[in-house]
């Protein structure tokens, strides 16, 4: 009742939404209500959690850092945690990236990437993106993804973009001619995409081969490419980053979500040295004049370093592999169910697209809520991406409930 009296929740129609579930504690893959009811978090709390809730190692590193230095402005000052994380992150990424620009979340990581790309590519250039994309809720990120039902009130304020259907794997009819025509129209300066899988757009997979070729064609024409790895980064898709599976890495990468293991908000926009160097000038106005009050906050960067320690461990690699294998087994047994239009697995992500049915999303949400498993279907797409610490027993619990919907 106290929540309903004072809180405005995101992505929620308060007129009709059920009251939110109050959560008081998190541990491993579980969230606990005040009365101790346990909810299995099958979607990693909006895709941010990697190693389990309230992981003691990250919590301890945050506490240590909070006692040493809680904040310092990041223009004119720096600090060890930000430097260390940038060095370690660059070492994990495909070669060629050399600079990390910090911000606060996925949308700001994208916003910074777009502004860097547009400032570098010169006035009047347009952005190209995939239909069905989602890059965040700030204005640039919304406009770059294109018009959809979620951003309808803001359409009159959007800048103009080009868009093209993403390359579905196995479908060879990707329209190269349409793509080439857009690129050669000479007004495209930036191509932004979620590599390998579109998240909020319905967990739709893309062909890595076609995407690699698209990046190569952009590079030939001097068009800046941005890989939005806000969802796919930090092990979700089977490799550490989705761009590890492309023949050619994009010019800019956007990272957030799992970057701190789900503890604190942080965004990182990673670029190559040539792009960074193109901003160097005796003229102050040629710099990238963008920043946020909490940019590279030391406590947040300490959480990122701690999360990276866990992510790079043998144990985490084995856990991700175990989840991927379990998902593949499930896919083999149930993927061709007549209730489904598709069943896809990409690393630790399992996505099921059901044949459309009235109120399907509500029905699925209700069933899983009754079974105390947290999910958030995207219309008729039900997906699972649990924290990497999820047990095989808990995965089986998830699969059991899914099979009830397929009978
Ligand atoms: C691919 C992608 N980009 C950007 C964002 C925006 O991130 P945030 O919600 O942290 O602003 C999201 C969020 O779901 C996302 O999936």
Mutational pocket test of ligand 1: of 10, 47, 102, 107, the residue with most ligand atoms within 8 Å of the beta carbon: 107
Examine the pLDDT at 169 and tell me if it is beyond 90. Answer: no
Examine the pLDDT at 106 and tell me if it is beyond 80. Answer: yes
The minimum-distance atom of ligand 1 relative to the CA of 199 is: 16
Q: What local confidence, expressed as pLDDT, does residue 122 receive?
A: 82
How close is the Cα of 281 to the center of ligand 1, in Å?
32
134 lines ligand 1 (CB under 6 A): yes
How close is the Cα of 135 to the center of ligand 1, in Å?
5
Range in 4-18, 89-103, 157-171, 254-268 the model is least confident about: 157-171
Q: What local confidence, expressed as pLDDT, does residue 124 receive?
A: 82
Examine the pLDDT at 135 and tell me if it is beyond 80. Answer: yes
Average pLDDT over residues 74-97: 97
The minimum-distance atom of ligand 1 relative to the CA of 257 is: 10
Let me know: does 340 contact 406? Beta carbons within 8 Å.
yes
CB atoms inside a 10 Å sphere around CB 358: 6
238 lines ligand 1 (CB under 6 A): no
Q: In the chain, what percentage of residues exceed pLDDT 90?
A: 94
Q: What is the dihedral of CA 3, 150, 106, 71, to 10 degrees?
A: -40
The residue contributing the CA closest to ligand 1 atom 10 is 106
Please write the tens of the pLDDT for every residue from 200-253: 999 999 899 999 999 999 999 999 999 999 999 999 999 999 999 999 999 999
How close is the Cα of 255 to the center of ligand 1, in Å?
9
Beta strands 38-41 and 126-130, pairing class: unpaired
Examine the pLDDT at 332 and tell me if it is beyond 60. Answer: yes
Q: What local confidence, expressed as pLDDT, does residue 58 receive?
A: 98
The minimum-distance atom of ligand 1 relative to the CA of 232 is: 1
Q: What local confidence, expressed as pLDDT, does residue 173 receive?
A: 67
The minimum-distance atom of ligand 1 relative to the CA of 107 is: 11
**CATH fold of 59-311, please?**
3.40.640
* Beta partners for residue 100, in sequence order: 270
Let me know: does 359 contact 27? Beta carbons within 8 Å.
no
Q: Which residue has the higher pLDDT, 172 or 59?
A: 59
Q: Report the half-sphere exposure of 200 (CA within 13 A, side-chain side).
A: 20
Q: Exposure of 146 by Cβ count < 10 A (0-12 exposed, 13-18 middle, 19+ buried)?
A: buried
Average pLDDT over residues 340-350: 97
**Model-level pTM greater than 0.95?**
yes
Q: How far is CA 5 from CA 9, 14, 19, 21, 35, in A?
A: 12, 11, 11, 15, 22
Examine the pLDDT at 366 and tell me if it is beyond 80. Answer: yes
Examine the pLDDT at 131 and tell me if it is beyond 60. Answer: yes
Let me know: does 140 contact 175? Beta carbons within 8 Å.
no
Please write the tens of the pLDDT for every residue from 271-326: 999 999 999 999 999 999 999 999 999 999 999 999 999 999 999 999 999 999 99
Beta strands 161-164 and 188-193, pairing class: unpaired
* Beta partners for residue 198, in sequence order: 204
Domain spans of the chain, in order of start:
2-55+314-406, 59-311
105 lines ligand 1 (CB under 6 A): yes
How close is the Cα of 311 to the center of ligand 1, in Å?
20
Q: How far is CA 270 from CA 38, 102, 110, 280, in A?
A: 38, 9, 10, 17
Examine the pLDDT at 171 and tell me if it is beyond 80. Answer: no
Q: What local confidence, expressed as pLDDT, does residue 192 receive?
A: 98
The minimum-distance atom of ligand 1 relative to the CA of 198 is: 1
How close is the Cα of 24 to the center of ligand 1, in Å?
25
The minimum-distance atom of ligand 1 relative to the CA of 265 is: 10
258 lines ligand 1 (CB under 6 A): no
Examine the pLDDT at 172 and tell me if it is beyond 80. Answer: no
- For residues 286 and 49, give the distance between their C-alpha atoms in angstroms, rounded to a whole number: 38
Q: What is the dihedral of CA 362, 365, 371, 373, to 10 degrees?
A: -170
Q: How far is CA 91 from CA 86, 88, 99, 100, 240, in A?
A: 9, 5, 11, 12, 12
> Candidates 3.90.1150.10, 3.40.605.10, 3.40.190.10, 2.40.10.10; correct CATH number of 2-55+314-406?
3.90.1150.10
Examine the pLDDT at 407 and tell me if it is beyond 60. Answer: yes
How close is the Cα of 378 to the center of ligand 1, in Å?
15
Let me know: does 51 contact 389? Beta carbons within 8 Å.
yes
Q: How far is CA 57 from CA 86, 141, 307, 330, in A?
A: 20, 34, 9, 32
Alpha helices in 7-105 (DSSP H): 44-47, 56-68, 80-92
Mean pLDDT, rounded, of the chain: 96
Please write the tens of the pLDDT for every residue from 375-397: 999 999 999 999 999 999 999 99
Beta strands 30-33 and 38-41, pairing class: antiparallel
Nearest CA-CA partner of 262 in 90, 34, 8, 58: 58
């Amino acid at each position: 009742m106290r929540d309903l009296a004072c809180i405005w929740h995101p992505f929620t129609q308060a007129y009709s939404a059920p009251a939110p579930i109050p959560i008081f504690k998190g541990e491993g893959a579980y969230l606990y209500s005040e009365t101790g009811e346990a909810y299995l978090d099958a979607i990693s709390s909006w895709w941010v959690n990697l190693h389990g809730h309230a992981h003691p190692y990250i919590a301890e590193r945050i506490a240590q850092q909070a006692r040493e230095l809680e904040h310092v402005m990041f223009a004119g000052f720096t600090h060890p945690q930000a430097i260390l994380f940038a060095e370690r992150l660059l070492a994990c990424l495909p070669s060629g990236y050399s600079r990390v620009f910090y911000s606060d979340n996925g949308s700001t990581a994208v916003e910074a990437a777009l502004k860097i790309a547009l400032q570098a590519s010169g006035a009047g250039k347009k952005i190209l993106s995939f239909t069905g994309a989602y890059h965040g809720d700030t204005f640039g990120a919304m406009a770059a993804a294109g018009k959809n039902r979620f951003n309808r009130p803001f359409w009159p304020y959007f800048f103009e973009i080009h868009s093209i259907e993403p390359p579905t794997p196995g479908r060879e009819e990707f329209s190269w001619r349409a793509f080439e025509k857009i690129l050669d129209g000479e007004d495209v300066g930036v191509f932004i995409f979620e590599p390998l899988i579109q998240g909020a757009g319905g967990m739709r997979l893309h062909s890595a081969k076609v995407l690699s070729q698209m990046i190569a064609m952009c590079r030939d024409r001097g068009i800046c490419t941005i890989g939005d790895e806000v969802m796919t980064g930090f092990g979700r898709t089977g490799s550490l980053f989705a761009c590890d599976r492309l023949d050619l890495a994009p010019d800019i990468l956007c990272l957030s979500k799992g970057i701190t293991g789900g503890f604190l908000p942080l965004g990182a926009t990673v670029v190559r040295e040539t792009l960074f160097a193109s901003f160097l000038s005796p003229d102050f106005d040629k710099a990238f004049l963008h920043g946020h009050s909490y940019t590279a906050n030391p406590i947040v960067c300490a959480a990122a370093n701690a999360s990276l320690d866990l992510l790079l461990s043998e144990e985490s690699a084995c856990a991700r592999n175990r989840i991927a294998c379990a998902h593949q087994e499930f896919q083999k047994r149930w993927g061709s169910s007549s209730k489904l239009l598709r069943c896809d697995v990409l690393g630790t992500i399992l996505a099921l697209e059901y044949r459309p049915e009235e109120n399907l999303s509500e029905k699925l949400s209700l069933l899983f809520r009754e079974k105390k498993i947290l999910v958030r279907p995207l219309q008729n797409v039900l997906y699972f991406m649990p924290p990497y610490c999820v047990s095989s027993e808990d995965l089986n619990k998830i699969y059991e409930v899914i099979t009830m919907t397929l009978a």
